[in-house]
Homo-oligomer: A and B are copies of this chain.
Amino acid sequence: MQQLYMDDLHPGDVFESGEYALDTPEIKTFARQFDPQCFHLDESAAANSFFHGLAASGWHTAAVTMRLVVESVPLAAGIIGASVELSWMRPVRPGERLRVKTTVNEIMPSRGKPDRGIARMTSETLNQLDDICLVIHHKIVVFKRS
């Protein structure tokens, strides 16, 4: 893939990722380490919870989204996030296949550092039915071609 610099990015550019399938063992492994709550770990407890069934940790969905962004948005210096806003729109269930569509919103040159800027991008994480599961608004550090 071509490595992209700040100069190469324009509002409206879209990047589409491949797929990542989330199964029950991976959902439980992530949750045991990082989000040990019953609705991510135990089917019967999850059935009686807010989620009405086993759901992936939202932080797991976010981490998978990052993986798909790294694979699909070829920034020359890598994906270096300054800040993000995440909204979880719906739970991700075992067996779902996720993909990410990332859109460039705005390129903001740095005032103090002439070699770089911030790219505002939005990533939508969709399941195999094209339901939006997660929306991330990123501010990513990008560099000019030197």
Contact = CB atoms under 8 A, between A and B. Distances in A.
Given A50-B77, A78-B50, A67 B35 contact: yes
A55 B92 CA distance: 29
Nearest to A82: B88
A33 interface: yes
Interface in A20-74: 30, 33-39, 49-50, 57-60, 62-64, 66-67, 70
Interface string A65-101: 0110010000001111111111110000000000000
Interface residues of A, number: 33
A63 B57 CA distance: 10
B88 A35 contact: no
Contact of A66 (B34, B38, B84): B34
A83 B85 contact: yes
9 contacts: A34-B64, A34-B67, A37-B79, A59-B66, A62-B62, A63-B63, A81-B88, A85-B85, A86-B86
B35 A58 contact: no
A107 interface: no
Contacts of A64: 34
